[in-house]
Amino acid sequence: MLRGIFKMTEKVPSIRLNSGYDMPVLGLGTYNSFKPNEVGDAVKAAIQMGYRHIDTAWLYKTEPEIGVAVKELIKEGKVKREELFMVTKMWVHCHEPDQVEPACRMSLEALDMDYIDMFQIHFPVPFVDKERTKPTMTDYLDTWRAMEKLVDKGLVRSLGVCNFNKQQLERILKMDGLKYKPSNNQVEITPYLAEEDLLQFSLKNDISTTAYAPFGAPGQNYVSKDAPKLLEDPTIVGIGSKYNKSPAQVILRWGIQRGYAVIPKSTNPARLAQNMDIFDFKLSEEDMKTMLALDRGLRNNFQTFKWKDHPFFPYKD
């Protein structure tokens, strides 16, 4: 059926990480997929279309289903494990150094894999429990030192962080005895939240960036029900019409041309295929600037976060 509906796309370009590995610039996000088999079917469809970058996390509860789907495709000869770039994240209740390796091994077991391509600290604020009822003061630098040991043990190939700000990245880079720099910082980036300063700092310091929720998470509405909808923005729609591309394709292309990876989430095969179809055009310099001018600092995630006074909360500004 896939053969009849979708065309296979040429290999997705990759970013060379400071760890020496390559990360495809387009990946599949898997957050907010709760129906049985939903994420597994999406992963199977995506991989058969040419996706090789799959993003998950302990918090998403999608690791087991993703692991089963990948294993089935490997068994069928559709893909090899070494062709895939698997990303997962350690949740906030595992920041204590002695909890880091068990958290990693838990994800490895759930995915049924021998190694993780990118293992990330999901959020800089630590908590005593997974429900985030009580924060602690565990320093993410101590967590990072424990993360480095995962690379030495062959459990992880590259290390990263998620939702870290510029100052927090800088603090890791300056820590005593740093062995492995962060290879990636995964943050919310959209045309309404361009994060230009953070992006340029990361590029300068050889830290790749991945944008989650590149369309502004239209199904979540954390900001308000009246928040502007990126995919309906007349400027983006107009640019898309010039290239005969959808607003979603314009947003993804804009991100890749700025130098970061994108991981749009979808379980719809047609949208998965559309998101892949972004390598046959290039936005002009003028259109890139027009898109950047849409930035209004509109953050979708963490607006209702209870512990914003914690010293490690990344979005105080």
Domain with residue 67: its CATH number is 3.20.20.100
Determine whether 154 is exposed, middle or buried from the number of CB atoms within 10 Å of its CB (0-12, 13-18, 19+): exposed
Which pLDDT score is estimated for 50? 97
Judge whether 60 counts as a catalytic residue. yes
Residue 259 CB neighbours (<10 A):
14
231: number of CA atoms within 13 Å, CB side?
A: 13
Average pLDDT over residues 12-40: 93
Does residue 145 register a pLDDT over 80? yes
Is residue 57 in some structural domain? yes
For residues 228 and 291, the model is more confident at: 291
For the stretch 102-135, pLDDT in tens is 999 999 999 999 999 999 999 999 999 999 999 9
Which pLDDT score is estimated for 217? 73
Which pLDDT score is estimated for 317? 60
Does residue 193 register a pLDDT over 80? yes
Q: Which of 31, 51, 60, 192 is catalytic?
A: 60
How many domains is the chain partitioned into structurally? 1
Range of the domain at 36: 2-292
Is residue 230 in some structural domain? yes
Is residue 301 in some structural domain? no
Which pLDDT score is estimated for 219? 59
The rounded mean pLDDT for the chain is 93
Is residue 300 in some structural domain? no
* CA pair distance 264, 286, nearest whole angstrom: 25
Is residue 148 in some structural domain? yes
Which pLDDT score is estimated for 218? 63
List the structure tokens of 25: 């610039």
Does residue 174 register a pLDDT over 90? yes
Does residue 72 register a pLDDT over 80? yes
Does residue 222 register a pLDDT over 80? no
Average pLDDT over residues 159-175: 98
* CA pair distance 110, 119, nearest whole angstrom: 14
Is residue 39 in some structural domain? yes
Does residue 226 register a pLDDT over 90? no
Is residue 93 in some structural domain? yes
Average pLDDT over residues 183-187: 98
For the stretch 254-297, pLDDT in tens is 999 999 999 999 999 999 999 999 999 999 999 999 999 999 99
* CA pair distance 184, 208, nearest whole angstrom: 5
Confidence of residue 228 (pLDDT cuts 50, 70, 90): confident
Does residue 4 register a pLDDT over 50? no
Confidence of residue 220 (pLDDT cuts 50, 70, 90): low
Confidence of residue 316 (pLDDT cuts 50, 70, 90): confident
Is residue 314 in some structural domain? no
